[in-house]
């Protein structure tokens, strides 16, 4: 095995059929509906081209990190593995969510609207996201996932799905079933960042390799197993910074609104 693969070798096509089918189905449905919406002026206004472009970019990144040879090198580079997961968790979901058209008609009391209202409840989304991040990054869970190869198959899908819920809560693309204010979304964003940042800090400052499959592994690019783990921590921490920054911006906007509200003159008493 080449332990110093170049970019071309890492991006060589290696199909992951479940992910490929899922991405093609999602992309096909989206762009079919987008093309239909271009026939009406009102629909064009609520579904501009830039939204479709962001959604398409998200699909490209989704395919790039799941259909390349990099997905088969989990056992040789924890850092490469984490890089792929962070693309699926921190880049693909916000692009897909921002691609959702404005003013989607949903009834929060029935059918799809009711299901989405439950899944996009902040506490439900936070619980699912924290469970995925924490369980699969404690040594027992991670070791089992690498040995059973679920790290290459199941875990990327779970990261993508749970992170989609988190980003949907933060960006609120479906206000009909998401009544949350900008302040509550900011607090939620900070809470959602804690599990990933905590895991990253443990990897950065641990004096030993935490995961058995990597203790004596031959790592790519001549990294030692400990350096590989520390680099993974840096990748996870840097990937989480934009989401934390957005949460702080939302909180500041909320505080400014509170301040402006408190400064408004009170109506005269009758």
Write the pLDDT tens digit of every residue in 111-145.
Answer: 889 999 999 999 999 999 999 998 888 887 777 77
Structure-derived torsion over alpha carbons of residues 10, 14, 15, 20, reported in degrees to the nearest 10: 10
Q: Are 61 and 23 in contact (CB under 8 A)?
A: no
**Residue at 217 is within a domain:** yes
Q: What is the dihedral of CA 157, 237, 129, 74, to 10 degrees?
A: 30
Residue 268 belongs to some domain of the structure: no
Identify whether 176 is part of a domain. yes
Residue 4 lies in a domain: no
Average pLDDT over residues 231-239: 95
> Nearest 5°: phi and psi at 77?
-155, 100
Average pLDDT over residues 16-44: 93
Average pLDDT of every residue of the chain:
89
With CA atoms as reference, report the closest residue to 73 among 152, 153, 157.
152
How many domains in the chain?
Answer: 1
Domain span at residue 249 reads 9-259
Q: pTM of the predicted model, to two decimals?
A: 0.91
Task: Decide if 172 contacts 245 (C-beta within 8 A).
Answer: no
Give the Cα separation of 210 and 29 in Å (integer).
42
Query: Average pLDDT, stretch 180-189?
Result: 91
Asked if the model's pLDDT at residue 263 lies above 50, the reply is no
118 in any annotated domain = yes
Mean pLDDT of the region 97-110: 90
**Looking at the predicted structure, is the pLDDT value of residue 163 above 90?**
yes
Average pLDDT value for residue range 235-248: 94
Comparing 185 with 72, the larger pLDDT belongs to 185
């Amino acid at each position: 095995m080449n332990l110093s693969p170049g970019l071309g070798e890492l991006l060589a096509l290696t199909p992951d059929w479940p992910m490929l089918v899922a991405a093609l189905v999602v992309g096909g449905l989206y762009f079919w509906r987008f093309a239909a919406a271009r026939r009406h002026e009102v629909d064009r206004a609520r579904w501009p081209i830039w939204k479709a472009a962001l959604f398409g970019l998200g699909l490209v990144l989704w395919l790039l990190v799941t259909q390349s040879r990099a997905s088969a090198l989990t056992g040789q580079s924890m850092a490469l593995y984490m890089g792929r997961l962070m693309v699926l968790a921190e880049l693909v979901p916000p692009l897909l969510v921002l691609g959702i058209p404005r003013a989607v008609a949903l009834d929060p009391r029935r059918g799809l609207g009711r299901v989405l209202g439950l899944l996009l409840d902040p506490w439900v989304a936070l619980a699912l996201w924290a469970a995925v991040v924490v369980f699969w990054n404690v040594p027992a869970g991670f070791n089992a996932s690498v040995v059973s190869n679920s790290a290459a198959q199941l875990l990327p899908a779970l990261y993508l799905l749970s992170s989609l819920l988190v980003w949907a809560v933060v960006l609120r693309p479906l206000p009909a079933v998401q009544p949350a204010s900008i302040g509550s979304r900011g607090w939620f964003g900070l809470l959602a960042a804690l599990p990933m940042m905590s895991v990253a800090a443990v990897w950065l400052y641990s004096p030993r390799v935490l995961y058995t499959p990597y203790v004596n592994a031959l790592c790519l690019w001549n990294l030692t197993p400990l350096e590989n783990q520390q680099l993974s921590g840096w990748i996870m921490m840097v990937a989480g910074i934009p989401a934390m920054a957005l949460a702080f911006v939302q909180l500041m906007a909320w505080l400014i609104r509170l301040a402006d509200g408190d400064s408004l003159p009170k109506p005269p008493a009758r």
